[in-house]
Structure 1
Amino acid sequence: MRWRRTRKRLKKYLFERLTLTLIPHSRGSMRSIRLPRIVFIFIILSLVAYFVSVTYLYQNYFNRYKQALDTIVSLQKLKTENMTLKTGLAQVAKETEKMRKILLELEKKGEHIESLISDTSVATETNVVKDLILFNYKLLDDEGMQPLGGGEGEGLLKSNGFELLSQIREELRMLRVEIPLQKSILEELQMDVEEYNALMAATPRGWPLDDDGKGYISSEFGFRKDPVTNEQAFHEGIDIAVWYGTPVLATADGKVIYAGWKSGYGKVVIIDHGYGYQTVYGHNSKLVVRKGQRVKRGDIIAYSGNSGKSTGPHLHYEVRVNGVPKNPIEFIKFR
């Protein structure tokens, strides 16, 4: 009952007719419009909704416009930074490539030195330079240097670009200091190694015959009774008893300074190895080298025989240091 009375009152209120009187400024007659109250309420609410909507749309448009303007300013700033970074990176990349070429030369020099000696620790001389170069290439290819995306921002670098560029430049500064030092060290090391290898190549060593181990020392270095004269005499080398025609080998690199007949020695070869070393190979049956010829350790220079002052097939082998005969056994042991 109560709900019905309330409903009845509300309906009466909403549909109660109200008079709207229109009074013109001119002398025209007044006009009146009678409409239910609900129509006036609807008109007022519609006007309020319209103004709220217009206000919201304007505020939204203003916010989007400001956001777009800020984005454009930000993009222009990023493009400027991007160009600066690209210019800096181009210079860094060019210098890094130059450093890489220098490193390759140093690596080749290091590999050459390693090939000259068995000590692989030489490779560590180039490690610092190599690590620095590789680090710079890692920085240049690092994910932090990748583009941000498409559109106007394509190719823009991340915010840590300037810090990264500064880090690369610092590494390059270190390289400019380190590379000349490493190059100097390697060049000095190469000269030392080459000098050492030249000395080793010139130092007589090993057995002077290709005899499959069948030869033996029949007369040692020092004072002995001469087998021909039967008198006490100083033997300036060793005699190695071996089959006739056994290949005689050079025991070090050098230059043949004599190849021919020599009193007492018969058919003899004398090689100058440098650094004061000379070797003598006597009593041969046949010589296969000539004066002025360069030979390497292990080259066949003659064939053993019984020429000259000899009582049987053998090789007379001498080692001289600065013109002074030395015991060849010490050099044979030095293999």
Structure 2
Amino acid sequence: MYKLKRFIRRLFTPVTIMLIPHDSKRTINVKLPSIGVVSSVVLWLVGSIYVISIAIDTIEYYNMKSKLNFYMGQFVELRTTISLLEKAEAEFKRLLSFKSRDKILENVDTQINVHDAGSLDMDLLKDQIKNTVEKVAEIQQFLKNQKDIYISTPKGWPVIGRITSEFGPRENPRYGGQEFHSGLDISAATGTPVRATADGIVSFAGWSAGNGNLVVVEHGFGYSTFYAHNSSIAVKVGQKVKRGDTIAYVGSTGNTTGPHLHYEVWHNGKAVNPVDFLKNG
């Protein structure tokens, strides 16, 4: 009991704190009980620890928020990538629903494009997505190139009629004698529409001596087509035409023995047999 009283007495023993201002000779004495000084120190330590813990929590919060924003951005990018892949998959399924190569190439949608839209912070998934997207992009580019070749390749009959003279050596029907016939003569009634057999640009449209009214269309990929002896021409130089567009009308202008279309197909500067292209129609 005595020791407890003695301890309590010491707690309340006054401690004098002396303050000496630099601009005054008088000192300021402050008396505080020992317990007050100890309590102040304890409170200061507790307050300091609390402030430090709050600061640490704040820093961790902002770090966590930054990481969360990063991962949210990554998920958005991943969702975009998946969406593009789903569109590409749907497009491939649509194309494969057609039963022939020609139908597939005619219906290729060259507007759909797939790019690397980002990745998660997981290397394996990143590589898998990147490889898949690259393969899809390669397939799409291949289909686009094949479609460009397809629409530039002559296909089908330029006019409905009957072949009266084949490609190759023949006897000239007007003057006699052997000659090489570089195209096909297709008999048809005057005024029958003559149609382009592939997409292209008209490079010549006018009178050409023995060919009469002649139309020449450049298709790209080395292909050109010639349509001669027309009664009239429906296009002009520089005009873009699509396969099936009317470009002229059958006639017998130039050196002919009757109304027909003289049709030629050239590839890489050489005349080739148009029959091979009629069969594709």
TM-score, length basis structure 1: 0.54
Q: Does residue 308 in structure 1 map to residue 254 in structure 2? A: yes
- The structural deviation recorded for 1:255 is 1.1
Structure 1 residues 111 and 258: CA distance shift in structure 2, 3 A: farther
Instruction: Indicate the structure (1 or 2) with the bigger Cα radius of gyration.
Output: 1
Distance in 1 between residues matched to 2:177 and 2:237, nearest whole Å: 34
Residue matched to 2:238 = 292
- The structural deviation recorded for 1:285 is 0.7
Distance in 1 between residues matched to 2:81 and 2:152, nearest whole Å: 33
- CA contact 1:203–1:277 (8 Å) conserved in 2: yes
Q: Deviations over 1:55-78 (max 9, x none)?
A: xxxxxxxxxxxxxxxxxxxxxxxx
What value does the CA root-mean-square deviation take over the aligned residues? Answer: 2.9
Structure number having the greater helix percentage: 1
Residue matched to 1:100 = 79
Residue matched to 2:50 = none
User: What does 1:234-313 align with in structure 2 at a 5 Å threshold?
Assistant: 234-313=180-259
Distance in 2 between residues matched to 1:114 and 1:231, nearest whole Å: 57
- The structural deviation recorded for 1:94 is 4.8
Distance in 2 between residues matched to 1:268 and 1:304, nearest whole Å: 11
Distance in 1 between residues matched to 2:177 and 2:230, nearest whole Å: 24
Q: 1:197 aligns with which of 124, 147, 151?
A: 147
Distance in 2 between residues matched to 1:300 and 1:268, nearest whole Å: 14
- The structural deviation recorded for 1:181 is 1.1
- The structural deviation recorded for 1:100 is 1.0
User: What does 1:73-88 align with in structure 2 at a 5 Å threshold?
Assistant: none
Residue matched to 1:186 = 136
Q: Which amino acid aligns with 1:106?
A: L
Structure 1 residues 266 and 197: CA distance shift in structure 2, 3 A: same
- The structural deviation recorded for 1:182 is 1.5
Q: Deviations over 1:184-216 (max 9, x none)?
A: 11222221111111111111110111x3xxx11
Distance in 1 between residues matched to 2:228 and 2:158, nearest whole Å: 11
Runs of 4+ in 1 over 4 A off after TM superposition: 86-94, 109-120
Q: 1:320 aligns with which of 261, 266, 272?
A: 266
* Gap regions ≥5 residues in structure 2: 1-60, 109-118
| Secondary structure at the counterpart of residue 320 of structure 1 | strand
* Gap regions ≥5 residues in structure 1: 1-82, 123-132, 134-168
| Secondary structure at the counterpart of residue 228 of structure 1 | coil
- The structural deviation recorded for 1:108 is 3.2
Q: Does residue 176 in structure 1 map to residue 126 in structure 2? A: yes
Distance in 2 between residues matched to 1:202 and 1:89, nearest whole Å: 52
- CA contact 1:116–1:193 (8 Å) conserved in 2: no
Larger RCO (CA under 8 A, 6+ residues apart): 2
Distance in 2 between residues matched to 1:98 and 1:269, nearest whole Å: 52
- CA contact 1:113–1:190 (8 Å) conserved in 2: no
Paired positions, count: 201
TM-score, length basis structure 2: 0.64
User: What does 1:132-151 align with in structure 2 at a 5 Å threshold?
Assistant: none
Q: Which amino acid aligns with 2:84?
A: E
Identity %: 41
| Secondary structure at the counterpart of residue 190 of structure 2 | coil
Q: Deviations over 1:16-52 (max 9, x none)?
A: xxxxxxxxxxxxxxxxxxxxxxxxxxxxxxxxxxxxx
User: What does 1:23-102 align with in structure 2 at a 5 Å threshold?
Assistant: 94-102=73-81
| Secondary structure at the counterpart of residue 264 of structure 1 | helix
Distance in 2 between residues matched to 1:260 and 1:233, nearest whole Å: 25
